[in-house]
Amino acid sequence: MPDTPTPDAPLLPAELAELAAGFIHEIKNHLGTLSLNLHLLAEDFETAETPRERRALDRVGRLSGECRKLLDLSNDFLRFARLRELRVKPTTLDVVVSRLIDFLAPTARHRNVEINWFPAPDLPPVALDADLFEQALLNLMLNAEQAMPDGGTLTLIGRAEDGRVVLEVIDTGTGIEPAVMAKLFRPFHTTKPDGSGLGLATARKIVIAHGGTIEAQSTPGRGTKFTVALPAAP
C-alpha cells in the first residue's frame, strides 16, 4: 500500500524570514539590471531635441527614481530580516553616541538642529555589537532630526539604573499622534511619503537582540522621547 503523503510542516519564523530575504535578494539582482539599462537609455536621450524625446527622457528619469526607491526598500528589508549573529564586546555608550553625533553634525547644522549629549559620569560599559547598535541609534536620531523640519534640539541622556544603562533620545519636534504610536514599531508602517517603515522595526529588533528594551513617549506638537535600556556588561 503506498505511503500516504504527509503535509509539509509549517515554516518557522526564522525559515520564513530567510526565504523572504532570498526572494528580495533575487529581486534586487533584476532591479540592478533594470536600473543599468535605464541609465543607458537616459544616455541615448541625453541630447533630446524634440518634445517627444524630452517626454521620453522624463519618463526614463521617473522610472530610474522608482528603481532607486525599490532598491532602498530591498536593502532596508534585508537589514531587518537578516539580523546577523551579534559580535559583542564591552563598549562605553559615550564612544558610540559621540561617533554618531560627529557623523550627523553637518546635516543637523543644515536643519538648524542642535544636538546635546549628557552622559552620566558613572556609566558602566555595555556588551554591544557596536556596528549593529549604531544602526539602531542612527535610525532613532534620523527620525528625531526629520521630526524637526524647522529646527530644534535633539538631546541624548545616558544614565545607569538598576544594573542597566539607559539612553534617552529626546527631540522637540512635531510629536506623534496616539493612533500612530500604537503601530510605531510595526514593519512597513510609516507616515513618511518616502519611508519604508522598517527603520524603527529594525532598531527595535537590534535592541531586543542585545537583551534590551525600547519604549516611546510622545506629545503631539511638543516632541518625542525614545528610551533604550540595555544590560550593563558583567
Supply the pLDDT for residue 140: 92
Residue 211: closest CA among 227, 231, 232, 225: 231
Check residue 151 and give its pLDDT: 92
Whether pTM exceeds 0.85: no
pLDDT, residue 56, reads 83
Q: What's the grid cell of residue 92?
A: 562605553
Amino acid identity of residue 153, one-letter, is T
In this structure, the number of other CB atoms found within 10 A of the CB of residue 77 comes to: 23
- SS3 for 179-223, per residue? HHHCCCCCCCCCCCCCCCCCHHHHHHHHHHHCCCEEEEEEECCCE
* pLDDT score, position 11: 45
* Residue 5 pLDDT: 45
pLDDT value for 19: 60
Distance (Å, whole) CA 14 – CA 152: 41
Rounded distance between C-alpha atoms, residue 26 and residue 74, angstroms: 10
Q: How far apart are CA 73 and CA 79, in angstroms?
A: 10
**pLDDT tens profile 186-228:** 766 565 555 556 778 888 888 988 899 999 999 898 999 999 9
> Average model confidence (pLDDT) for the chain?
81
Which pLDDT value is given to residue 188? Answer: 63
What span, in angstroms and rounded, lies between the C-alpha atoms of 75 and 208?
A: 21
- Residue-by-residue pLDDT tens, the chain, 234 positions: 444 444 455 544 555 556 666 666 667 777 778 778 888 888 877 777 788 888 888 888 888 877 777 777 666 666 666 665 778 899 999 999 999 999 888 889 989 999 999 999 889 999 998 888 988 898 899 889 989 999 999 999 999 998 899 999 999 999 988 888 878 877 665 655 555 567 788 888 889 888 999 999 998 989 999 999 999 987
